[in-house]
Amino acid sequence: MLLIRCPYCEEERPEVEFSYAGEAHIARPADPSQLNDEQWAEYLFIRTNARGIHYERWCHRHGCARYFNAVRDTVTDKLQMTYKAGEPKPDAIGPSGGDK
């Protein structure tokens, strides 16, 4: 069970308090109607599935209920850092699992 630092609570808490919420830094298009089918499918379905560094979202479900971002190495399962939603994508240490 991972220990995850909630950037809002500023505390390291056990994984059971959190829920995973998919890949990070995939913004919903401002006007989906402007996207063709292929572009919309890309937004809707296509994910990095990284082997290595992965930018992902977590929600501190049973804590402050805030969504935030994390950098995790999917090979070692180590969380390198967490940061608030809306903050810029940070540089990660280690081999990138694909940069999208």
Query: Could you give the string, one character per residue 25-44, with x where binding to other proteins holds by CB under 8 A and - elsewhere?
Result: --xx--xxx-x-x--xx--x
Of the residues 2, 21, 35, 64, which one makes contact with Zn ion according to CB under 5 A? 64
- SS3 sequence, 21-42? EEECCCCCCCCHHHCCHHHHHH
Collapsed DSSP state (helix, strand, coil) of residue 44:
helix
Which 59-88 residues touch other proteins, going by CB under 8 A? 59, 61, 65-67, 76-78, 85-86
Collapsed DSSP state (helix, strand, coil) of residue 60:
coil
Tell me the CA distances in angstroms from 25 to 2, 13, 20, 28, 33, one per residue in order. 22, 23, 14, 9, 20
Q: Which does 19 bind (CB under 5 to 8 A by kind): other proteins, Zn ion, none?
A: other proteins
Binding site for other proteins (CB under 8 A): 1-3, 14-15, 19, 21, 27-28, 31-33, 35, 37, 40-41, 44, 57, 59, 61, 65-67, 76-78, 85-86
